[in-house]
Amino acid sequence: MNELKVALAQIAPVWLNKNKTIEKIKTYITEAGDKECDLIVFGEGLLPGYPFWLSLTNASEFNSQVQKEMHAHYISNSIQIEKGEINDICLLAKKTKIAIYLGLIERALNRGGHSLYCSLVYIDKEGVIKSVHRKLQPTYEERLCWSQGDGNGLQVHSINDFNVGGLNCWENWMPLARTTLYALGENVHIAVWPGSERNTIDITRFIAKESRSYVISVSSIMRKEDFTIDTPHLETILKNAPDILADGGSCIANPDGEWLVAPVVNKEGLIIETLHINRVYEERQNFDVSGHYSRPDVTQLIVNRERQSILSIKE
């Protein structure tokens, strides 16, 4: 139990096609299960894909018909967890005895069922959804299609002798969000990204040095040919798109901040490695950010885990 075999799924979605993307995800879960991995991680918003059109089609134009049609298409391919749309993935987790971190775009019923959240879902080895973390703060153009999340999913989960937690993309730069997970006993930090080495190469090692934890950054791949033919306004998107929109950059840092797996670019597939709990214990000897190197009598953090909604029904 003092080891954790992890699979980083650096793959492209079947862009904005939730059903075909789910089938692709299941293929990689099965492969990781066959290789006896304990955990598989998929990138930010992989299901059904990152909203790349925003930066390619003048997304800030108010009342644009292009943006309305793209957003409607995105909503149609987003995930309603409460309606069982990832049940097949949960069943496969149980069958293969593998835990899953999955980045998806959630259409939350408890927020009206039409607004979208960039969520990171944790499914345990029994196929049970244990947390759904809605991204606290979408970044830049993401705010034109994603809503602000809440603290309900700031949770850590036990796998073997490890405690695993995760954040989406630039949330990993938010000190208090990281601190919450550290205080919960995290020793494997999952950072999911839409893709690109420029995002992962610095912060992965930085978080490892700060937390004395393993840090796993998982990114997607997105190439011009990965845009699907049924995408609204595809011609406009392709005209403005570079050949490579996300080159991956998935990687793993050891608890001392050195590379276990340096960023991998322009390669689709599974990256598999084994983590050892003693490496965490060794680095906590001289620095433990929530333990012997903390001063709770001087500074403390308050976290609101309440799931946010405008409606509270009293009968």
Asked about 37 being catalytic, the answer comes back as: no
> Residue 84: CA atoms inside 13 Å, Cβ hemisphere, count?
2
Residue 55 in 3-state DSSP? helix
Q: Which residues pair with 217 in a beta bridge?
A: 191, 251
**CB environment 38-51: b (16+ within 10 A), e (fewer):** bbbbbbbbbbbbbb
Helix count and strand count (H, E) for the chain: 7, 13
Asked about 306 being catalytic, the answer comes back as: no
Catalytic residue among 18, 37, 44, 283: 44
Q: Contact at 8 Å (CB) between 110 and 149?
A: no
Beta-carbon contacts of 46 under 8 Å, excluding residues fewer than 6 positions away, are 11, 13, 21, 25, 102, 103, 104, 220
Catalytic residue among 37, 90, 145, 169: 169
Q: Contact at 8 Å (CB) between 145 and 115?
A: no
DSSP-derived letter for residue 114 is S
Catalytic residue among 18, 85, 118, 135: 135
Distance of alpha carbon 131 from alpha carbon 12, whole angstroms: 24
Residues noted as catalytic:
44, 135, 169
